[in-house]
Amino acid sequence: MVEPIALLWVYSLLTVWLVCCAGAGTAESSANSDSASVEHLESIVCQDHTTGIEFLPLGVCFDLMGNLYVVDSDNSRIYVRKRDVDILTLFSECPADYPECDFIDVAGSRAGGIYVSDRSGGLILDLDRWGEPGAYFHVGEGVAGIGQGKAGRVVAAMGISGSISMVDFDKETEALETAITHGDGNAYPVDCHFLEPGIIIVTDSFSKQVLFLTGLGEIKGVAHGYSFDNPFGVTCVGERYVLVADSGRGLVAVFDPGGGFLFTFGEGILDMPTFLDSTPDGLVCVSDMGRMTIEVFRIGEVPSE
């Protein structure tokens, strides 16, 4: 079991993200004729198999080979579950020459390793397939969720500054930070994901919306047909679906690439979903801090009429 002080530490990390999201949202429809088949495959207990100690998961991602990575938010470690292996093993931890780390989210890299956001250092680190740190970008205070685009591009949600920051590990240029132009006032982005071509999807805790932005931060649209309690992690299943974890309602809301609401899944299984990731063929892993598990689903095609 995780000690109570560890629970308090993680929930204090989330306080800013959750404080503006009080009140329960409602979906216009929790299931409709556009629903796809969704199968719950398994629950992965977040536990160090060498010590038996459980940990609170946060960021989660797949690499190019389909290996699953999970951030241990208690200790700023990253664990990996290799394909066709049932246990989580230590992949990487705070480098010895760093004063401290506060790992938040992970994303698969173009070289077969992963990227990780470090809130304490305001960094995005590039870890190779053996977990060793290489290049990094300093993006600033408040970095949260990250998403990988083509080649070496990474986009980061910058909660405190209400902006998104884009970096390119291939070109090694300086990070480009862009404020979110929001008609409702300040934004507090939690997670982000590239939706090609040229659109970035951002979950915003202040407005309780999912925004479709240009690279210049201009809002081109919002997800519609569903009212969020607390939109958190976001990912895409190929070009078929946009998936958003609603931490407040304990489910995943599914939209089409234009932002139209389709259906939800995970009710009764998820407790406090945060970050999530998927593979193009519809395998979805959701980090559930409430249950201290990674919940694995398979999402199919929407039936044709």
Q: Which carries the bigger pLDDT value, residue 238 or residue 104? A: 104
Contact yes or no for 156/123 (Cβ under 8 A): no
- Does position 243 have pLDDT exceeding 80, yes or no? yes
- Does position 1 have pLDDT exceeding 90, yes or no? no
pLDDT tens digits for 49-104? 888 899 999 999 999 899 999 999 989 999 999 987 888 999 999 877 777 889 99
Q: Which of 51-60, 158-167, 175-184 has the lowest mean pLDDT?
A: 175-184
Q: What is the average pLDDT value for the chain, to the nearest integer?
A: 85
Q: How many CA atoms lie within 13 A of 186 on its CB side?
A: 9
Cα 66 from Cα 285, distance rounded (Å): 11
According to the model, what pLDDT value does residue 14 have?
Answer: 53
Contacts (Cβ under 8 Å, ≥6 apart) of 248: 18, 21, 24, 25, 228, 229, 230
pLDDT tens digits for 275-300? 999 998 999 999 999 999 999 999 98
Query: The domain that contains 246 carries what CATH number?
Result: 2.120.10.30
Q: How far does Cα 108 stand from its chain's mean position?
A: 12
According to the model, what pLDDT value does residue 49 have?
Answer: 83
Give domain status of residue 287, yes or no. Answer: yes
Q: How many domains does the chain have?
A: 1
Q: State the pTM of this model.
A: 0.88
Contact yes or no for 226/265 (Cβ under 8 A): no
pLDDT band, very low/low/confident/very high, at 28 (cuts 50, 70, 90): very low
Give domain status of residue 305, yes or no. Answer: no
What Å distances lie between residue 179 and 142, 157, 187, 216, 276, CA to CA?
A: 13, 10, 9, 8, 24
According to the model, what pLDDT value does residue 12 have?
Answer: 41
For the stretch 204-207, contacts whose Cβ atoms lie closer than 8 Å and that sit 24 or more positions apart, written own/partner, are 204/180, 204/231, 205/17, 205/18, 205/20, 205/21, 205/159, 205/230, 205/231, 206/20, 206/162, 206/182, 207/182
Range of the domain at 289: 4-299
pLDDT band, very low/low/confident/very high, at 141 (cuts 50, 70, 90): confident
Contact yes or no for 277/287 (Cβ under 8 A): no
How many beta carbons lie within 10 A of that of residue 97, not counting itself? 6
Q: Which of 104-108, 197-201, 220-224 has the lowest mean pLDDT?
A: 197-201
The token pair at 72 is 């241990």
Cα 47 from Cα 292, distance rounded (Å): 9
- Does position 304 have pLDDT exceeding 60, yes or no? no
Give domain status of residue 173, yes or no. Answer: yes
Mean pLDDT of 124-142: 91
- Does position 220 have pLDDT exceeding 80, yes or no? yes
Mean pLDDT of 238-257: 96
Mean pLDDT of 218-234: 95
DSSP conformation letters of 186-237: ---EEEEEEETTTEEEEEETTTTEEEEE-TTSBEEEE-BSB--S-EEEEEEE
What does the radius of gyration of the chain's CA atoms come to, in whole angstroms? Answer: 18
Give domain status of residue 304, yes or no. Answer: no
